[in-house]
Structure 1
């Protein structure tokens, strides 16, 4: 699986941070790469049907569109959970067990689930695989660079804390986290808020528009 492969690439490393060695953070660097694969899965599970025209057949069989979206969300989650659990577990295997390690590993799994559902929500809203991937990847990777280009650095820092791009660093840091823009649970909450918003907007548009 792409996610498992990305996570395995980081096994056995150490990271020198401001407060010392954060082996957990380096082992979980694959989450930053793997989230793109999970987002793509979330996008394709719905937008792929629009691209091939199969969405019409799906809606004939299941005319209640809310049911279609809920079913796809459930199917996506069922697919992401085992891959994320195994991938994260393999990435941190061998490290000393601690509350910080369990927190980082558990939040990484939750983050990947949320990113997949974010992709599904955006796909339901825009219906195009390319457009949905551009939006999701922009939020996850490009937003910080654009925000730091704002003329007012205070606004840039404020908006940066509201983007899902902050999450991976916050979730996986276990050493010297005082300088992070958000704490790990707050960062996960930001991702959850984006996911709920995307799913809500996607559900409304999916219900109202013709296939």
Structure 2
């Protein structure tokens, strides 16, 4: 039976040997940082045009992470590809022959991929913050201000959790196209619609991305019934439920 170190090294080799997974992580960094810088620059030049209420609730930290909404697409792609590549190529059969304990195989893949996603996510959040603040000029904040460091770490954690959620759903659905077809509309259409329509706004508040993104905010706009840590907890519950469903699927279904 394969030992834990061998299984972890095997999963690391699988991830780094597939160029598509490497490129998706690189895209997550570039898109998040570049878009955050652009929006921060636009806000800097348009600050005087904001209403009095908008100026009072202005959150320079959160503005730096404006690119996260698009950068998370790349993290979703990373999570899906890490899992579904094995199913689309048939490699999953060889993996299960080498590691017949399906829980151990899943745990090893999740451990390696999540650690990598969190590392990239944290590097991205710090880059996005410092470069975004540089673009904001005199409207900037400092990482030593109350709540700012928590928000920066939270942004990196959010991106890692998005990848983990995508991996869990990929275990459940297996096929890359099917998983993309479910997650992309969920995050970029359904979630936004529910959160911005008054009749369904309260439902939207409890979706994983809407709740989890509150960890990146420093200024409380009073629109959510929970704080940053409450939002992160909601997101963690979504991830845990998806992981449980993914594990049951892997355990009960044939490769």
Provide the TM-score with structure 1 as the length reference. Answer: 0.88
Distance across 1 between alignment mates of 2:254 and 2:75 = 27
Distance across 2 between alignment mates of 1:20 and 1:161 = 19
- TM-aligned CA distance change 1:42 to 1:5, over 3 Å: same
Question: Greater relative contact order: 1 or 2 (C-alpha under 8 angstroms, separation 6 or more)?
Answer: 1
Residue in structure 2 matched with residue 50 of structure 1 by the alignment: 87
Of residues 172, 193, 200, the one that matches 1:125 is 172
Matched, 1:19 2:56: yes
* Per-residue deviation, 1:198: 0.6
**Is residue 155–residue 213 contact of structure 2 (8 Å, CA) maintained in 1?**
no
**Is residue 62–residue 218 contact of structure 2 (8 Å, CA) maintained in 1?**
yes
Residue in structure 2 matched with residue 106 of structure 1 by the alignment: 153
Aligned length: 208
- TM-aligned CA distance change 1:63 to 1:199, over 3 Å: same
**Is residue 195–residue 202 contact of structure 2 (8 Å, CA) maintained in 1?**
no
* Per-residue deviation, 1:117: 1.0
RMSD: 2.2
* Per-residue deviation, 1:107: 1.3
- TM-aligned CA distance change 1:100 to 1:141, over 3 Å: same
Provide the TM-score with structure 2 as the length reference. Answer: 0.74
Distance across 2 between alignment mates of 1:109 and 1:73 = 17
Runs of 4+ in 1 over 4 A off after TM superposition: none
Structure (1 or 2) with the greater helix fraction: 2
Q: Which runs of 5+ in 2 are unaligned?
A: 1-25, 44-49, 134-140
Is 19-28 or 108-117 further displaced after alignment?
19-28
* Per-residue deviation, 1:141: 2.0
Distance across 2 between alignment mates of 1:5 and 1:173 = 21
Q: Secondary structure at the match of 1:29?
A: coil
